[in-house]
Amino acid sequence: MSKNSSVKNRGMRGRTLLQSVAVWALVIAVSLIFAFPCVWLILSAFNAEGSLLTLDGFFPSAYSLDTYIKLFTEKVEHDYVRWFSNTLFVAAISCVISTVCVLLVSYTMSRYRFKSRKQMMKATLLLNIFPNFMNMTALFVIMTQFNLLNNLWGLILLYSSGATMGFLVQKGFFDTIPSSIYDAAILDGASDLRVFVSITLPLSKPMIVFTALTAFTWPWSDFMLPKMLLPDKSQWTVAIGLNWLDESQFSVFAAGSVFIAVPIVILYILLSGYLIQGSAAGAVKE
Amino acid sequence: MKKSGQEKNRLPYQVKLSCAFMGLGQLFCRQFGKGLLLMAVEIGFVLFLIFAGVENIVGIFTLGTKEAVPIMGIEGDNSVKMLAWGITTVFLCILFGLVYYANIRDAAYTAEEIRKGNRVRTFSESCRTLIYGKFYFLTLSVPILFVCVFNIMPIVFTALVAFTNYGGEIVPPKLVDWVGLANFGLIFTVSEYAVTIVKIFGWNLLWAVVATALNYFGGLGLALLYNAKCLRWKRFWRIFPVLAYAIPGFITLTGFRFLFSDGGPVVGMLREWGWISEQFTFIGFDSKWSLRLLGFFACAWISVPSVMFLATGILSNVNRDMYEAASLDGANAWQCFVHLTLPFVLFATMPVLLNSFIGNFNNFSIFYFLRPEVTYDTVNYFYANNTDLLINWIFNLTVDKKLYSLGSALSMVLFLFMAIVSLVVYMRSPSYRKEDTYK
C-alpha cells in the first residue's frame, strides 16, 4: 500500500517536474520572441553607420551616439524635434478631450434610460465597422472645406470623435456598478453631475486610467490620419516622418522609434495592473 | 375616435402658434426669453436657407451645371465641394426639424401647465430643467455633434460618391455626374474587377479567420502560461508582452520589414546557413506565402498581448471551486481547460472576439507597412497584390489611382457585408440581451 503510493507520488512528482520545465522553457521562448526585435532595434540605433546594410549579421560592428546627436540637431533633412512636439501636442489634447467624452457618454448610456438609447447603441456598433480611413476621400474633402487640412486641431477633433465611438467598453464597466449605490445619493438630494463626480469616478479609477491610456496611445502611434491630412512636412507627426525614411537611414529610424516607444512602454509597464483590470472589466458580461 | 376629435379641437392656441412659427407659442405663454431665442433660431435658419441652403440642396441634385474653363477665366462649379456642402445643409435641416419638433412639444407642455393653473417656468428654470432633469441631453449633445460631423458625414459622402462617376479623369474642375448603380454593376460584371474581388475576398476571409484565431488562442494560452503555479517572478515575465503591446504598431511593422527585408539580417543569416535559396525573399515583388506567413506572425506579435491582458483579467474571475470539484471527479488539466476554462472565457469575451474579427478583416496596416513599394501584380489582379486585403485594395484604388467612385462603391459593399455579419452576431450575444443582469 505504502509502496504503491510512493510510486504514484514519484510519478506525480516526475510529471509536475516535466510540467514546470515545459512552462519555464515556453516562458523563456516567448519572452525571447517578444524581446529580440526590441533589443535589435535599440542596438541598431547605436550603429556608427546609418544604413541597414552595414549591420554585421544582426548587430552593428561599431557603436556610437552619432545617430542620437543627429536626430536632435538635424533640421533640414528630418526635423525630428518638430515632429515629436507635434505628436505630443496632438496626443495630449486628444487624450484629455477623448477621456472626458468617453466617460460621460458611457456613463450616460449605462445609467440613464431614454428614448432611442438602444438605437444609438446599434448605430454606434454599425459606425464602428466603418473605420475612418475607409472613407479617406470624404474625410479629405470635408477637412479641406473646414480649412482643417495641415492643421493639428483637425486631427484632434477626429481622434476625439473616433475615441468617443468606442464607449461600449466603458459602458460595460459602468453596467457592473450596482444602482443601489446611486439611489442612496439621490435620496440625499445629490444632482446628477454630483453623483457622477463624487460616486462614479472614484469607483472607476482603473477604467479611467485604461481610457486615458488608450486615448493617448492611438494619436501617439497612428499613421493613417496624419498621412492623409498633413501633407505639409512641417506639420508631420513622428509616424509619418519615420515611415518616410528609407533603408540608408535605418539607424535614424531606430533611434527615433526608441524615443517614441520608450515613454509609452514605461507608462504601460507601470500601469499594467490597471490595464488588465480595465480591459477585463469592459468585456466581462454574463 | 370621437374623443380624439375633441382633443384636436381643444388643441391650445399656443401650440398652433408654435407650429406656425417657432417660439411664438412660448411668447404667448409669457416665456419671453425662450420664445425670442427660438424665434432667432428660426429667422437665422430661414436666412441661411435663402442665402445658401437652397442652392446647396439643389447642388446635390445637379452637382454643378457650369463647367470651368480656366483659359477663359470662367470659374465653374466644383461638384465635390457642392456635394459636401449639400450634405451639410441636409444635416442642418434635420437638426432644425428636431428643434422645431421639440419646440412644439414644449409649447404643448406649457399650455397644459397653464390649463392646470400651474405657474409657468421662467427662462432660468427651463435651463435648470435641461441641465438637471435631462442630464443625458447635456452629456450626449456635444459628442453626438462631433460624431455627426466627423464620422457620419464622411460615410454619407462616401456612400453618395459610390453613385457618381467621380474619379479617374473626372475630377474638378470637370463636372461630376450621378450614374446610379453603374459602379456596383462594374465591380461585379467586368471580369478584371470581379476576378480580383473574388480572389482578394477569399484571402481576406482566410486572413481574418486565421489571424483572429491565432491572436485569441495565443493570448489565452499565454495567459494560462503566466498563471501556471510553478512559474515565479510573474510580474517580470509579463513585462515582455507589455513591451510588444506598448510599442506603436507602425514601429513594430516597419521594424519587421527591415528585419526581414532582402538586405536585412534574417534573410542574410538564413542564406548563410543554406536554409533558403538565393532567390527566396520574405518581402519581394512575387513573394506570396512567405509574406503572408510573415504577416500572420507580425499580427500575432502585435495583437496577442492585448488578448492576453483580457484573458488574464477574466481568468482571475473564474470560480476556483469548479476546478476543485472537477479534479475530485478525476478530470485532468486538459479536460479542465476544454470543459471549464474555455466555455467561461469564450462566453465572457464574445463581443471582443467580434471586434477582433472586424479589426482583422480590415487590418490595413500589416501589409501596408510590410510591403514597402506599391507594386501591382497586373497579371492576376486589378491594381492589387497577392497579399492585399480588400481595405488595401480600396486604398490603392482611391489614393494611388484616384478611382474615387469605384473605391467608394467597394467600401459600401465591404461595409454592408461587415454590418450584416456583426449585427447578426451582436443580436445573438448575451451581453446585448441581458444587459441589466447586474442592476
Q: Do B242 and A27 count as a contact with CB atoms less than 8 A apart? A: no
Instruction: Give pLDDT, residue B9.
Output: 54
Find out whether the peptide bond into B173 is cis, omega within 30 degrees of 0.
yes
Q: Which domain holds residue B45?
A: 2-180
pLDDT given for residue A8 in this prediction: 53
Q: Do A161 and B228 touch (CB under 8 A)?
A: no
Q: A11-15, A194-198, B302-306, B388-392: which range is least confident on average?
A: A11-15
Cβ separation B423–A126 shorter than 8 A: yes
Burial of residue B139 (CB within 10 Å: 0-12, 13-18, 19+) is buried
How many domains does one find in chain B?
A: 2
Over residues B112-119, mean pLDDT: 81
Interface contact flag, B135 A37, Cβ < 8 Å: no
- Window 163-182 of A, Cβ < 8 Å to B: 164-165, 168, 172, 175-176, 178-179
**If DSSP codes are grouped into helix, strand and coil, which group holds residue A132?**
helix
Closest CA to A217 of A105, A112, A87: A87
Considering the domain architecture, whether residues B74 and B219 belong to the same structural domain is answered as no
Beta bridge pairs of residue B74: B69
Q: What is the 3-state secondary structure (H, E, C) of chain B?
A: CHHHHHHHHCCCHHHHHHHHCCCHHHHHCCCHHHHHHHHHHHHHHHHHHHHHHHHHHHHHHHCCCCCCEHHHCECCCCHHHHHHHHHHHHHHHHHHHHHHHHHHHHHHHHHHHHHHCCCCCCHHHHHHHHHHHCHHHHHHHHHHHHHHHHHHHHHHHHHHHCCECCECCECCCCCCCECCCHHHHHHHHCHHHHHHHHHHHHHHHHHHHHHHHHHHHHHHHHHHHHHCCCCCCHHHHCHHHHHHHHCCHHHHHHHHHHHHCCCCHHHHHHHHCCCCCCCCCCCCCCCCHHHHHHHHHHHHHHHHHHHHHHHHHHHCCCCHHHHHHHHHCCCCHHHHHHHHHHHHHHHHCHHHHHHHHHHHHCCHHHHHHHCCCCCCCCCCCCCCCCCCCHHHHHHHHHHHCCCHHHHHHHHHHHHHHHHHHHHHHHHHCHHHHCCCCCC
Residues 63-82 on B with a CB inside 8 Å of A are 80-81
Q: Are B254 and A253 in contact (CB under 8 A)?
A: yes
* Cα(A165)–Cα(A173) distance, integer angstroms: 16
Residue B11 forms part of a structural domain? yes
Residues of A in contact with B247 (CB under 8 A): 38, 257, 261, 264-265
Q: Which helix (H) or strand (E) holds A245?
A: none
Same domain, B407 and B265: yes
Q: Which of B265, B314, B317 sits opposite A58 (nearest CB)?
A: B265
CB contact under 8 A, A135 and B154: yes
Most B CBs within 10 A among A16, A34, A80, hence the mutation to make, goes to A34
Share of chain A above pLDDT 90, in %: 13
The CA distance from A127 to A144, in Å, is 22
Give the pLDDT confidence score for residue A283 in this predicted structure: 56
**Cβ within 8 Å, pair A52-B263:** yes
Domain-ending residue, one of B162, B180, B198 = B180
The reply to whether B82 and B216 lie within a common domain is: no
Please count the other Cβ atoms lying within 10 Å of the Cβ belonging to residue B68.
17
Residues B167 and B232 occupy one common structural domain: no
Tens of pLDDT, residue by residue over B257-289, are 888 887 778 888 888 887 877 777 787 777 788
Q: Is residue B438 part of a domain?
A: no
Write down the mean pLDDT value for chain B: 82
For chain A, the domains span: 1-39, 79-246+253-283
Q: Are A238 and A83 in contact (CB under 8 A)?
A: yes
Contact criterion met (CB < 8 Å) for A264 and B358? no
Residue count of chain B, please give it: 439
The model's pLDDT over B341-400, given as tens digits with 9 standing for 90+, comes to 787 777 777 777 887 888 898 888 888 888 866 677 777 788 888 888 888 888 888 888
The β-bridge partners of B164 are B178
Partners of residue A247 in chain B, C-beta under 8 Å: 258, 261, 263
The per-residue pLDDT for range B184-217, each reduced to its tens digit, is: 888 888 888 888 888 899 999 999 999 999 999 9
Residue A184 has pLDDT above 90, yes or no: no
**Residue B346: predicted pLDDT:** 76
Contact (CB, 8 A) for A280 and B310: yes
State the pLDDT confidence band at A2, using cuts at 50, 70 and 90. Answer: very low
Query: To probe the interface with B, which of A134, A169, A252 has the most B CB atoms within 10 Å?
Result: A134
Q: Do both B401 and B425 map to the same domain? A: yes
Contacts of A273 in chain B (CB under 8 A): none
Q: How does pLDDT run across B16-67, given as a tens digit for each residue?
A: 887 888 888 888 887 888 888 888 988 999 999 888 888 888 888 888 777 7
Residue of chain A nearest B356, judged by CA positions: A129
Bridge partners (DSSP) listed for residue B170: B167
Q: CATH number of the domain at B201, please.
A: 1.10.3720.10
Predicted local distance difference test score (pLDDT) of residue B427: 74
Residues 248-267 of B with CB under 8 A from A: 248-252, 254-256, 258-259, 261, 263-265
Q: What cell numbers appear for B33 in the block?
A: 426669453
Does A1 contact chain B (CB < 8 Å)?
no
Using a CB-CB cut-off of 8 Å, the residues of chain B touching A193 are 135
Q: Within an 8 Å CB–CB cutoff, is residue A57 touching chain B?
A: yes
B193 lies in the same domain as B148: no
Question: Quick one: B269 and B351 in the same domain?
Answer: yes
- Note whether B173 contacts A: Cβ–Cβ < 8 A: no
Q: What is the pLDDT of residue A1?
A: 41
Residue A75 C-alpha, separation from nearest chain B C-alpha, in angstroms: 22
- Which CATH superfamily is A79-246+253-283 part of? MetI-like (1.10.3720.10)
Residue B439 lies in a domain: no
**Shortest CA distance from A111: residue in chain B:** B136
Shared domain for B73 and B141, answered yes or no, is: yes
Q: What nine digits make up the cell of B297?
A: 506572425
**B170 shares a domain with B298:** no
Interval B277-320: pLDDT, tens: 777 778 777 778 888 999 999 999 999 988 888 888 777 777 77
CA distance A206 to chain B (A): 12
**Which pLDDT score, from 0 to 100, does residue A254 have?**
87
Mark whether B218 and B176 lie in a shared domain: no
Domain boundary among the residues B149, B180, B211 is at: B180
Instruction: With CA atoms as reference, report the closest residue to B14 among B96, B104, B119, B116.
Output: B104
> How far is the alpha carbon of B314 from chain A, nearest alpha carbon, in Å?
6
Q: Do B348 and A128 touch (CB under 8 A)?
A: no
Q: Cα distance from B247 to chain A (closest Cα, Å)?
A: 5
Tell me if chain A has a CB within 8 Å of the CB of B300: no
- Using the 3D structure, point to which of B180, B214, B231 is the last residue of a domain: B180
Neighbours of B27 (CB within 10 A): 19
Asked if B266 and B260 touch (Cβ cutoff 8 Å), the reply is: yes
Nearest CA in chain A to B152: A127
pTM metric for this prediction: 0.83
Reading phi first (left if > 0) and then psi (alpha if -120 to 50, else beta), residue B30 is in left
**Residue where the block lists cell 520545465:** A21
Which residues of chain A lie closer than 8 angstroms to B237, CB-CB? 27, 31
B329 and B376, same domain (yes or no): yes
B176 and B230 part of one domain: no
Q: Do B314 and A265 touch (CB under 8 A)?
A: no
